[in-house]
Structure 1
Amino acid sequence: MADSRLQKMANRSAFPVLPEELWLLIFGFLDETSQAIARNVCHEWRALVLVTTRGVIPRIFAEDLVCNVSLLVWQRDVLGRPLNKKTCARAAKGGHLDVLQYAREQGCPWDEQTCSFAAQGGQLAILQYVREQGCPWGTWTCAFAAKGGQLAILQYVREQGCPWDEKTCSVAAEYGHLAILQYAHDNGCPWGTWTCAFAAKGGHLAILQYARDNGCPWDESSCAKAAKRGHLAILQYLHDNGCPWDELTCENAAEGDHLAILQYAHDNGCPWDESTCKYAAMNGHLAVLQYAHDNGCPWDEMTCSTAAQYGHLAILQYAHDNGCPWDKWTCKAAKKGGHLAILQYAHDNGCPRYAINL
């Protein structure tokens, strides 16, 4: 295969013909971005890339195409990708000032995202330049600085009058940036229940404790987020310290296959409803469904129809064998999802049909 491709190259290519070993050696030194570019040069180079990568088509990412001006021009002129607001934002995040300047000279638009991405990437010089050129910013600039853990950037933009809101604290909490959260709170940045919820989502106990010690409110969403991500220690802290919870905690635990979370929540009085079984069925979590049913969690027709929709035959069999009701929507969902075995099982076991032809 390789010999045939290289022979065609020797016959048709304008490039100097080298021995096969040298071509493969040269292309073997290319990184994935360069390989992706090379395969767009000509048929011969495309063949060489595929030989080098053993048939794996190399990927090219948007962030890689703003590393220098030549690549930016290539993506526009060869790939036909127009310059847009994301071009400036990606160049700003990567600190590529020359690319950003060229893009602007070519009439490329920008918006608040350029400042936000620069802030996230810690690109102070870029941020200063774009602001001098009139690029807008807003509350997302502070939030993205918080997301990136860029304390110096956050301090700078605040000194320059950039606005912030609850997103700054919430994002800092989610990504575990305690110093950012402390600075924001000490300097009057508002926070709310989402700060605790996102700290719980990220599994950041120290963040959660700091927020609570300093008067940050919380609500049921904190427990729900902790359950969804499987953070048992966080959920225990929340419950031990009086954070409320509701049915969404058990629902999220079931959806994520977090059996220990579900057991803890139920053992400690967290309410549940039919959605717990539904989401266990949706995701094929048989052990979770068995635990919920064995411990008195209610279920309804949605358990069976959801299992059918997502192709979980074992779930449907367990539910039906244990008295879970079903209706015509079970067959309809199985048919819509193309799950013939489930459709056949439901029909054979007396499930009402929804005008279907087996």
Structure 2
Amino acid sequence: MKVLVTGAAGFIGYHVSKRLLERGDEVVGIDSVNSYYDPEIKEARLRLLDEANRRTNSGFHFIRGNLAEKGVVDACFAAHAFDRVIHLAAQAGIRYSLENPHAYVESNIIAYTNILEACRASRVAHLTYASTSSVYGANTNMPFSEHRPADHPLQFYAATKRANELMAHSYSHLFGLPTTGLRFFTVYGPWSRPDMALFLFTKSILAGEPIKLFNNGNHTRDFTYVEDIAEGVIRASDQPAAPNADWNSADPDPATSSAPWRIFNIGNNNRVKLTAYVEALEEALGRNAAIELLPLQPGDVPDTYADVSGLVHAVGYKPDTPVTLGVKKFVDWYLEYFGVQ
């Protein structure tokens, strides 16, 4: 198949693109390679995708462009006939949305609309896109289920991703565009963004600096290893949503919609306390962390926990990498990438 992966230079986009190339798919990647964080790590990911392409000879084409520019998206779809679109490009980061909400409108609303329109016009067989567990807000009904309301996000970032889910439903209903939204739960692993907790913790511990644990370290998270996320994304993409299929709708009353639209959680279905996550990092590094306990930050969610029965039912897959193994793989990558002895 020929697959468009947006955000191909990003953390998850890189892993998804690499796995698609390794199984023989032709991949067109598009990314603006912006400076939200150090672009060099994005360039390094792209170099690895070029290497994967040379090994597999599957076909990797990269477009450097901003999806918020309609002409960029239209030119991409005019040049290629896509069997599938996996839309992972977005402005990420909860706290940054407090500083620069306009970046989220551009990347998560305008760019997303351009992708929806292009998929509609070219009759793409399936659009799979990234959402987030943050849409559940301060929900305390655990584990989080797609079949319960998610209408009170606590951050603007989460609000834009919930908007993506609803926008997808309108296109699925009006134009018959099959769409699948995937709510990611605390993704971590090799090649992660430098602003993510595990990356920051590792950097601080190696520098002998204290790490900051908000909510006094009492957070629990459904940590999900990035390669498990990539596997779930591709399996979901391979099986397009269909009208009236069971487990198709994340509406509390699925009977209200017969559109080819669905939403799945992708998580490890396991709550891990943040302090246990840090302990796994200490073990992998062979060093103890100095810890600074701080109060809950604005927009932070105390706990996350994924019900993944929908994903298992629909595509037969459940993430299962334990935190101790996933953290060890991240540390091995970090030490090698930065040449730490």
Question: Is TM (by shorter chain) over 0.5?
Answer: no
Q: Compute the TM-score of the two structures, normalised by the length of structure 1.
A: 0.28
Q: Using CA pairs under 8 Å that are at least 6 residues apart, name the structure with larger relative contact order, 1 or 2.
A: 2
Bigger Rg, structure 1 or 2: 1
Q: Compute the TM-score of the two structures, normalised by the length of structure 2.
A: 0.29
Identify, as 1 or 2, the structure richer in helix.
1
Identify, as 1 or 2, the structure richer in strand.
2
